[in-house]
Structure formats: C-alpha cells, structure tokens
Structure 1
Amino acid sequence: MSSTETTAVDKGEKRSNFTGRIGYVMAAAGSAIGLGNIWRFPYLAAKYGGAVFLIVYLISVYTFGYVLIMSETVIGRKTKKSPVSAFRHFGNTKAHSFGGWINAIIPMLIAPYYSVIGGWVLYYLFSYIQGEVKELGGDNAFTNFISSGTSVEFWFLVFAVCTIAVIFFGVQNGVERVSKVLLPLLVVLSVIVCIYSCTRPGAVEGIKYFFIPQMQNVSWMTFVTAIGQMFYSLSCAMGILITYGSYMKRDVSIEKSTTQVEFFDTLIAVLAGLMIIPAVFAFNGADAAKTLKAGPSLMFITMPKVFGNMGFGMAIGIVFFLLVFLAALTSSISLMESAVSTFQDELGMSRPIATLTYSGIYIVLGTLSSLGFNVLGGVKLLGMDFLDFFDFITNSVMMPIAAIAICLLVLRSVTLKGVEDEVTYDGAPFKRKKVYNFVIKYLCIVFLVIILVSSVLNAFGIIKM
C-alpha cells in the first residue's frame, strides 16, 4: 500500500504526507529546535565544562540521537501510524500497548506547559516592541509578571491560539508550510544576534569559556547531562518523530533527512551558546561564570538585564525574543500535531474534531501551569508547582522510559533487518549502519537507564546535577 493510500484509522481516508524531504526536515528540525537549544544548552555548557560538554553533546547527537531519530522515523514510515497504532502494528501485547501510549501521552502533557513558557516569551517580545527595556531588566520584573495570574494566562492563550491555528490547516498547509518559513528565519535571526553578541567589548572571554575546556567544572555529571540534553533537544521519545515519520513518503531518504535534522539542531545549539555566553561575559565580566550557572533564570532575568545595559538593547531584545518565540512555536506545533494525530488514529476523529478535542485538554492543563505561580500557588504535587511537576514527570521519568520502549521495539519486533530494509528502500544508502546497530544493541538502553535514575535522584535532591 502506498504512503498516500495508507490510513490512520483504516477507514479509507488518505493519510496526510509531507510534500518531500525538505518538508520533513523543516518540520522535524523545527520540532527539535526549541527552548532546549536556545535556553537550556548555553547554561548547561557553561556549568559543565564548556568545550568538554560541547564535545560530549556532539558525540551524543551523532550516535544516540542518530539512533533514536532513525528508529522513530522508521517506525512511523513503516506503519504509517501515530505512536499507539504504530507499536500495536508489531504486536498486540500489553508491552506494545504501554510503549505506544507512553510515547503518545508525553506530547499531550508537554504541549500545555511548554506553551505557558511560550506565552512568557511572547510577553517579553511585545514588551520590547513597546520599548520597555529598562522595566524588563528590573530586579523583580519576571517575578512580578508570573505572579500576575491574568497576564500570564492571557499570553498563554495567545500562544495557544497561534499553535492551534497551524494544526487546523493540516500537515502540508499548516505544519510544513509554517516550518519552511519559520526555520530559515530562525537561523537568520540567530546569526544576527550571535554576531552582535560576539562583537561586544569583553565578549571574547565568553567565546573562550565556551570553546576551551573548563576542567574545573568537569565531572561524571558532565557526561550524563550532555547526553540528557541531547535527548531533550532532539524531540526524541515524544511520539513526534514517529508521527512525522508516518507522513514521510517512501522515496525520501531517512538517513539523509536525519543527518540534516542533526545539523540544524547542532547549528542552533552552538549559535545559542555564542548568543548568550559572550553577552553575559560582556555585561557581567568576572561574575559571568557564576551568572551563567544560575540556570532557568538566564533567559527571563539575566538576558533582559544584559540588553538593558547594551547599545541597541531594544532592537536586540526584539530580535532575540522573536527568534525564541519562533523556536518555541515550531516545537509546540510538533507536540500538538503528535497529540492530534493520536486522537485521529485511536478515536477515528477528523482533524478538526481531533484538534478541538485536544485543544480543550491543552487549555485546561496549560491553565493549571500558568496559574501555578499565582492563583494556584498553594497547590503542590510532590512539592512542585504544576509546571515543574509536568516537566519532571515527562522529561525525567516518562521520556527515558519511552525511549527504552522504542529501543526494545526495534530490537525485538521491528528487527535490525527490518530497519535496514526501510532505510534502504528504493536504493537509499545506510551509511552509518554499523554505528546504528552497535549503539542500539549495546549502549542505548544502558545510558537511558542512567539518565532516568540520575534525573529522578536529582529531582528529589539526592544528587546534584
């Protein structure tokens, strides 16, 4: 059965497709390039050894990341189904069902709280457009904003509407078309901010800090965290790449597409490091290293302070938060698309009905996260507010388990020969076959277990990452 004849719900409807390799690569790369690259990568690189972290991260992307992207794409294209049905295609056991559902549920839980953060980005973007440079750089600006329930909820809903609107238009006219515009624009804006940041007085020390090994900050957690960042950054084990793989035509090279996704992800991660680390050094000087290690506050507290004390602060603030918004939007689109595809496949819904149905869940869960710092601040789950809880349960617990399920599915049901047959369909090459087979057979599951255990222990304060 051809890709245009395969259906998600076996009702005779044609399953949507990307128009070709560029459409898939733009959508998959847009999914991979998100807040994890622009916000999380720079502070982790600064905290865990600079160039050492960068090298471990790059090795991880081109080994573990390569294997996970290839595996999910193969599963999706081979079955032409979203995660639950894709797993069941290879066996109708409880294990197959569990593997499919955990991959399907993850994006349903991530999209709402991710969109809350996307709303924060939108608020900062529009505030810079209005010229509030000094106000945003104030000591309590961010705290005052997230403490305002009405304002946070409003910007979350604005961001949510942007995401939902794209999904309504479908795979080609929505997801693919928007990705083809936003991803190149994101790269261009990243280069502009990067050039500006790296040419500030004192920025050279930040460049050195990023590209020279900082051995005093290296520990075994450097390796665990770098591998974990790869996992977080590439949109693996979220059901997204299975869903996007199901939209890929059979004449598109899976390996070539994967290589291009790896390239875009790596490019933006490195550019993000060059955008943020030199800028912080230019502003903070001797205290820059300590400031960079502060973590999540970097984007919404540190960078506005930097922009407020730099020439052209308003303009660079607009460009910076515009590119962060584009990165967040492309990722939220992919998360919601995976969720909607599951609703279509498992409940037999049309795209409009599936989109509306999930949108209700999306807005309810997102509202819990947006109000968790103010109106619902007294409600805690495992001692965490709603946003932190959803982030912990998905990223630290569910995603490593979902990735293990994918690896086991490939090894036991799809088989390495089945992967090779799908990758080499129509004569396409499988250049890194030996790397793929070795990593998935001997390394992936071991390292995924290490990431899972380390993340959980870190969340409960037993170890510090």
Structure 2
Amino acid sequence: MNDDKRNSFTGTLGFVMAAAGSAVGLGNIWRFPFLAARDGGGLFLVCYLLLVATFGYTLLTTEIALGRGTRQGPLTAPSKLDHRFGWTGFLACLVPILILPYYSVIGGWVLKYLWAFLSGGAQAAAGSKYFGAFITSQWEPIFWFLLFILATCFVIYHGVEKGIERYSKILMPVFFVLIVIVSIYSLTLSCTDPATGVTRTGWQGFLVYTIPDLKGLTLGKFLTVLMDAMGQLFYSISVAMGIMIAYGSYAKNNTNLYQAVNHIELFDTLAAFLAGTMIIPAVFTFMGREGMSAGPALMFISLPKVFDAMGPFGVAAGIFFFLMVTFAALTSNISIQEAITASFMDRFGWSRKKTTFLVGLYALVGGIVVCLGYNVFFFELPLPNGAVAQILDLADYISNNIAMPLVAIGECVLIGWVVGPRWVIDEFRKGGFPFGRETMYKVFVKFVTPILLFILFLQAFGVFN
C-alpha cells in the first residue's frame, strides 16, 4: 500500500512525537528508577545507555523498517517478507492484545490518584491501606479504567494525523515540561530523620542514583544488572510489541528514519533519566535507601507518602506528578491499541471506526476482568521466575517475558538470516537519507541480539535463579 492510500504522519516530527509518546510510558516512570536504585545506580545507567545504542537500536530500526517497507501492521508485516514467519506476526499482535486491558487498568489507577490530589484527598492517598483498599473494591477501579479507555479510543477513532499525531504533539511537550519541573524540585528537598537526627537531601539521593556502586560487584551481579537493563529496554522503547511496526507503516518515504530513531532513543533515555532524577532523590530524602526498594508499589504507595511529607508543596507536587504520569500512560496506551487496530484493519480490511469499536469493546471486557482479579476472580499462581501472580501479573508475565523475546528473536532471524540486513539499510536510505552504525547493526541483528534475547527468554523460566 503506497503513501496515498494509507494513513500517515505528516512528517518526521509527527512520527517522532508519536513514537516517543509510545516509548515514554509507565515503565520509564516506576520501573527504571527502581532498577537503577537496586542495581548500583550509575552501573545500571551505563549498561542501559550501552544497550540503547546497540541492542535497542537494532530492534528499533528493524521494526520501523519492517513497518514502512511492507506498509503493513504487525500481524501481517513479517509474513509479507516470508510466509514462514507468520507466527512472528501473530505473536507481535498477541502482545498488545494481552497488554491493552491491564495497561488501561493501571492508567485508571493513575487517574484515581490524580483526582485524589486534585480533590483534597492527598493525605488519605498517603495512607498505608489506601492503595490496597482501592484496587480490591469491586466498582471504583472499573470506573476509572472506563474513563481511561474511553480517552484512548477517542484518539484512536480520529486516526493517525488528526488523532495520534495531533495529541502526541500536545501531550509529549507538556510531559517533558512537567517532568523537568518536578525533577528540579526533587533535587532541592531535605529532611531530618526524627529517629536518628540525620539530614538527607535530594542531592544526596541524586548521587546515590548516578554514581556507580561497585562494592561487592561480581561477574554474576554484573550479568544480572545487564539482564535487568536489557529487560527494561522492552518496556522503554516499545519494541517487540508491534507498535513500532504499526507506526513505521505510517511513516512516509520522505521521512528521515535514521534521524527519527536517534530522536526516539534520545527522548526515551532522557525521560527515563529524568524519572529517576525526579523519584529517587525524593524517596531517598524522606524514606532513605529502604524506600527505594518498593518496586511497582513505588508510584502508588511510596510516592504519595513522600508528597504528604513535603508539607504544603506536596499537594502541588503530587498533582504535577500524576498529571505527567497520566500523559505518559495515555500516549503509550494509544500506541498499544493502535498496534491492534492496524493489524486488524490490514488483515480483515475493516474500517477504522469498526476496528476501534471492536478493539475498544475487547479492552472494556478484558479490563473489567483484570479489575475483578483483585476481588471476585482473585487467585495466586506461582510463576517459574519465583513471582506469585494474579490476572494482571499473569498477562504481564506471558507478554513481557515469553512472547516479546520470541517476537524479537523471530524478527532478528527474518532480517538477519532470511531477507538480509541490507533490506533494512536500503529502506532507511530511501530519499538519500543516511543509515548509521551499519557494521554494528549487521553484527547485532545476526548474532549478538538473538543470543541476548535467548538468554533473557531462559531467565523468564528461572533457569538462572
């Protein structure tokens, strides 16, 4: 399908804003700071930066080229190059299908906390039992989830240029303004521990975050940090989820894809670093090193306590923070739903209106099931990696730990060994634009990336525990 027949972004800026909006999501805001704090601060940052420039670059360029070169969504793009890789397209479509309901539910949680801070409930939100009581109630999580999924469907319904591109151009700049404001404020904080009399500052927390902690470092620990950083990349740059294939299919032939990839990497890395700058110093100041180990609970349990401890400025900081997280979650959720929408439109020839309705209906039913997974449908299932899962955790485990590595491996085999890396390079060079890091790309797509992905896949089954 050529540019005249397929919806497309107006240019490089629109493509970059939409793709960066997808990449900058909840994973950047809670998971990146948590891993950085746990894995030695600066050591994790160095590993992450190296992987972004190599491993992440390889997957990002491969998927964008796959989308634009085939003008297909993730479900049908791989099989258009080679029919034997239909399974790769199936899994690439399955990933966002699994993610959309639970990501929308978490987006609803963010809306709930934003409303709590806007409506004078900030002190209540800081309570130890507030989050648990909220997610285990039967109807309230469903209400906030409905608002979030309706906002997502509204943007998707209006298409690529008038929907995704238009709102990404608004939401992403506002997101970065908010995250910079809160990050700067976080560095100015200080608190004296009443029990010990020790004063901790935001700047000290920033140093904990950025200076590599090499004490007791072993080869095994280093490999763990490396695997954590690699796993984070899946969350951060939206690869192996079908999203970049879908967005790539909307990029015009006069779009400078190499420049776009560099900008996406830059925006994503900057957002992740600023998220750490915003969260780790604040949590360290008011809760010490122990507070930084909260993991997924960091955003909904630890940070409201931090905002409450800030005094009069805490409510404003909380509003800024949860407004920023809402924007990040919404742009990412839009891209997740669009990956499914593009797949079904290409495969079945449905209109955008019909597809948006059907995918939205699925997300509605799936999201309600996820919400009820904390009460009516509650269960605890042990996973191979040692975790214990409910419905949300199970969908997350299958998509992120099993399906996504398999998708990425399939893409690397398809491009590295079947059609050849030259196909991607030539796609990027359309219109006389450059393709950088060519030798590195060829080596990584054929050898390094598939090996690292296979190790990551085995880790999901507890092989290295």
Per the TM superposition, whether the score is higher than 0.5 is yes
What is the aligned partner in structure 2 of residue 243 from structure 1?
246
What is the aligned partner in structure 1 of residue 18 from structure 2?
27
What is the aligned partner in structure 2 of residue 265 from structure 1?
268
For residues 49-82 of structure 1, give each alpha carbon's deviation from its aligned partner in whole angstroms, at most 9, with x where no partner exists.
Answer: 1000000001111111111110000010000001
What is the aligned partner in structure 2 of residue 134 from structure 1?
123
| Separation in structure 1 between the aligned mates of residue 105 and residue 414 of structure 2, nearest angstrom | 33
**One-letter amino acid of the structure 2 residue matched with residue 289 of structure 1:** R
Matched positions, count: 446
User: Does the Cα contact within 8 Å between 1:48 and 1:217 map onto a contact in 2?
Assistant: no
What is the aligned partner in structure 2 of residue 80 from structure 1?
71
What is the aligned partner in structure 2 of residue 7 from structure 1?
none
Instruction: Tell me if 1:143 matches 2:132.
Output: yes
Q: Which stretch shifts more, 324-333 or 379-388?
A: 379-388
Q: Which stretch shifts more, 201-210 or 377-386?
A: 377-386
For residues 192-246 of structure 1, give each alpha carbon's deviation from its aligned partner in whole angstroms, at most 9, with x where no partner exists.
Answer: 1001111101112101101111124751211110111112211000000001000
User: Does the Cα contact within 8 Å between 1:381 and 1:389 map onto a contact in 2?
Assistant: no
| Separation in structure 2 between the aligned mates of residue 53 and residue 318 of structure 1, nearest angstrom | 29
What is the aligned partner in structure 1 of residue 308 from structure 2?
308
CA change 1:108–1:381 in 2 (3 A) is farther
Cα offset for 1:379? 7.4
Alignment of 1:187-336 (within 5 A): 187-201=176-190, 202-216=201-215, 218=217, 219=221, 220-284=223-287, 288-311=288-311, 312-336=313-337
Q: Return the match for 1:179 from 168, 186, 190.
A: 168
The TM-score normalised by the length of structure 1 is 0.94
User: Does the Cα contact within 8 Å between 1:198 and 1:279 map onto a contact in 2?
Assistant: yes
User: Does the Cα contact within 8 Å between 1:168 and 1:174 map onto a contact in 2?
Assistant: yes
Q: Which stretch shifts more, 317-326 or 415-424?
A: 415-424
| Separation in structure 1 between the aligned mates of residue 247 and residue 227 of structure 2, nearest angstrom | 28
Cα offset for 1:364? 1.3
| Separation in structure 2 between the aligned mates of residue 310 and residue 455 of structure 1, nearest angstrom | 39
Q: CA RMSD in A?
A: 1.4
CA change 1:381–1:152 in 2 (3 A) is farther
What is the aligned partner in structure 2 of residue 430 from structure 1?
435
| Separation in structure 2 between the aligned mates of residue 217 and residue 78 of structure 1, nearest angstrom | 48
Percent identity, aligned pairs only, is 44
**One-letter amino acid of the structure 2 residue matched with residue 76 of structure 1:** G
| Separation in structure 1 between the aligned mates of residue 189 and residue 216 of structure 2, nearest angstrom | 25
Instruction: Tell me if 1:65 matches 2:66.
Output: no
| Separation in structure 2 between the aligned mates of residue 157 and residue 414 of structure 1, nearest angstrom | 43
User: Does the Cα contact within 8 Å between 2:6 and 2:250 map onto a contact in 1?
Assistant: yes
Cα offset for 1:294? 2.1
| Separation in structure 1 between the aligned mates of residue 370 and residue 202 of structure 2, nearest angstrom | 36
**One-letter amino acid of the structure 2 residue matched with residue 108 of structure 1:** I
User: Does the Cα contact within 8 Å between 2:126 and 2:308 map onto a contact in 1?
Assistant: yes
CA change 1:103–1:217 in 2 (3 A) is farther
Instruction: Tell me if 1:404 matches 2:405.
Output: no
Q: Which stretch shifts more, 317-326 or 374-383?
A: 374-383
Cα offset for 1:184? 0.5
**One-letter amino acid of the structure 1 residue matched with residue 69 of structure 2:** K
| Separation in structure 1 between the aligned mates of residue 262 and residue 141 of structure 2, nearest angstrom | 38
| Separation in structure 2 between the aligned mates of residue 456 and residue 175 of structure 1, nearest angstrom | 37
For residues 73-94 of structure 1, give each alpha carbon's deviation from its aligned partner in whole angstroms, at most 9, with x where no partner exists.
Answer: 001000000112211211223x
Q: Which stretch shifts more, 220-229 or 49-58?
A: 220-229
User: Does the Cα contact within 8 Å between 2:413 and 2:446 map onto a contact in 1?
Assistant: no
**One-letter amino acid of the structure 2 residue matched with residue 213 of structure 1:** P
Residue 295 of structure 2 aligns to a residue whose secondary structure is coil
Alignment of 1:424-463 (within 5 A): 424-457=429-462, 463=465
For residues 12-35 of structure 1, give each alpha carbon's deviation from its aligned partner in whole angstroms, at most 9, with x where no partner exists.
Answer: xx2100000001000000000000
